[in-house]
Amino acid sequence: MKTAKIQIVKDFEISQTDNRLFSSFLEHLGRAIYGGIYEPGHPQADEEGLRKDVIKLVRELNVDYVRYPGGNFVSGYDWKDGIGPKADRPRRLDLAWKTVESNQFGIDEFYDWSKKAGTKIMCAVNMGTGTPKEAGQLLEYCNFPGGTYWSDLRAKNGHKDPMGIKLWCVGNEMDGSWQICHLDAAEYGKKARETAKIMKWIDPSVQLVVCGSSGPAQKTFPEWDRKVMEYTYDTADYLSIHKYYENDGNDLDFLASFVDMDRFIRVLEGTADYVKALKRGKKDFFFSFDEWNVWYQSQDQPHGWMEAPAILEDNYSLLDALVFAGLGMTLLNHADRVKIACLAQLVNVIAPICTKKGGPAIRQTIFYPFYFLSKYGRGIVLHPVVQIPKTETKYGETPLLYTSTVHGHDDSVTIFALNISKEDLMVDIDLASFGRLSMTEHICLNGNDLNAKNTFEHPDCVSPREITPVRGEFSKCSILLPKQSWNVLRFKIAS
């Protein structure tokens, strides 16, 4: 059996994780909103039509921020269509997803939902068809205390108190040719800078996220990012980056996706540091990885101009969940630079939660890694010293074991460990710098069938299991990690 060695040293800190790393995303897309979080008439719907069963699952994930309303959708969206009496709201064509938008749900309804779901709003403004002026008006509607046209209209629409939305995306994926009114880097950089000025004049407390690359495969990467950061260095706070992965038929390559995500972030760290040096600046540009997931984009089907069609409803396998876990751990391992991360998305559309019209809501396989990362990933991420066997994948030399370690504020140590090998792996763990510890939990996500999925008929087909933890108090231990498995190893520091 192959063995790996990891030494965790208490003082080798990467960074405290930002709670916003455990955020997600809801777009006006398919059945994410309509039939997802909002389904008037559903037996579980409350008086506002919000599904309580979905809210319960969102609360279980302990999601910090939820990005809204898009995504590609936002680049053609007029937020004013979604406010006021519902009977008066216009039905519009959504050019991003070629669907019909009823506008029965808008910023006021989303604010109410976020309160019930225990989440905060990361609001995106339209930088496609939208103008800097309209972005400012939306911010005024949401956050200005009162006594102006837009803030008084908010009060009239049921929200007397300001919504206090602190985190704003200045557009979405403006580097993409698919984006409604796509811009080049200089055009977007200037528009984003001017929009940011207006927004910060209206509410100086807001934090702004400007569009970086929508993936490392973009021809404009990383030049786009350099230019946008140069234009917005003085006005913006975060650079938004996105990346999705799908299986092209080689499971090992797919499991190694964390290598690619890691490189993507590293290149951007270099790019951001270059801009800082160029500006003779003091500020580090941090990243908002506000769309990440597994997405079988190549399998998306064309559809007509329908209202809330069931599109992008990927049904995730155990293998997808393992890959997903590797991506989530990469975000933790870059906690010094990545301060916000949004699992894209949250309900029905490439999501951990899936609903049936009039029926139940279930947990997809990817629900579980997010659940444990969110539950045990809050604390100080440590940089381990490792000796791990390697293999070759399409990304080059790849470790068979990928880990992320978090020192919790409750005297706990959690090691997340992904074994991508087709064989079990023995891992020797040295935790001596913590003194003596006991092992409290070993949670394992694995199974005989990597293609197994959770369905409405079999909602618990894939779920994590408990393995008996190593007994007694120790400072070193050896743990067997099953082949192709994701593990959560929990330790308690002895007092």
Residue among 155, 145, 172, 171 at smallest CA distance from 83: 155
In this structure, the number of other CB atoms found within 10 A of the CB of residue 60 comes to 16
Provide, rounded to whole angstroms, the least separation between the CB of residue 386 and ligand AHR: 33
Q: Is 71 in the site for ligand AHR (CB under 6 A)?
A: yes
Our answer to whether residue 291 is catalytic in this structure is yes
Using CB under 6 A as the criterion, what x/- string covers residues 267-296 for binding ligand AHR?
------------------------x-----
User: Residue 360 and residue 356: Cα distance in Å, rounded?
Assistant: 6
Q: Which residues contact 325 (CB under 8 A, 6 or more apart)?
A: 369, 373, 416, 418, 445, 486
Q: Which residues contact 166 (CB under 8 A, 6 or more apart)?
A: 120, 205, 206, 207
| Residue 62, phi-psi category: left (phi > 0), alpha (psi -120 to 50), beta (remainder) | left
User: Which of 65-73, 108-116, 123-131, 456-464 is the region at the interface with ligand AHR (rule: CB under 6 A)?
Assistant: 65-73
Q: Which of 94, 140, 173, 260 binds ligand AHR (CB under 6 A)?
A: 173
User: Which of 70-78, 140-148, 195-203, 253-261 is the region at the interface with ligand AHR (rule: CB under 6 A)?
Assistant: 70-78
Contact status, residue 368 vs residue 463, Cβ threshold 8 Å = yes
The catalytic residue among 109, 140, 173, 194 is: 173
Q: Is 72 in the site for ligand AHR (CB under 6 A)?
A: yes
The count of chain residues that interact with ligand AHR, using the rule CB under 6 A, is 10
Where in 78-137 is the site for ligand AHR (CB under 6 A)? none
Provide, rounded to whole angstroms, the least separation between the CB of residue 138 and ligand AHR: 18
Where in 212-271 is the site for ligand AHR (CB under 6 A)? 214
Our answer to whether residue 466 is catalytic in this structure is no
Residue among 204, 201, 187, 179 at smallest CA distance from 126: 179
Q: What is the DSSP letter of 55?
A: H
User: Residue 320 and residue 27: Cα distance in Å, rounded?
Assistant: 22
Closest CB to ligand AHR among residues 295, 434: 295
Residue among 125, 269, 273 at smallest CA distance from 206: 125
Residue of closest CB approach to ligand AHR: 71
User: Which of 12-20, 69-77, 384-392, 411-419 is the region at the interface with ligand AHR (rule: CB under 6 A)?
Assistant: 69-77
In which residue are the tokens 């602190």 written? 166
Provide, rounded to whole angstroms, the least separation between the CB of residue 291 and ligand AHR: 5
Q: Which residues contact 89 (CB under 8 A, 6 or more apart)?
A: 81, 82, 83, 102, 103, 104, 106
Provide, rounded to whole angstroms, the least separation between the CB of residue 355 and ligand AHR: 17
Q: Which of 27, 94, 203, 237 binds ligand AHR (CB under 6 A)?
A: 27
Provide, rounded to whole angstroms, the least separation between the CB of residue 333 and ligand AHR: 23
User: Residue 115 and residue 383: Cα distance in Å, rounded?
Assistant: 36
Catalytic residues: 173, 291
Judged by the rule CB under 6 A, the positions of this chain that interact with ligand AHR are: 27, 70-72, 172-173, 214, 291, 344-345
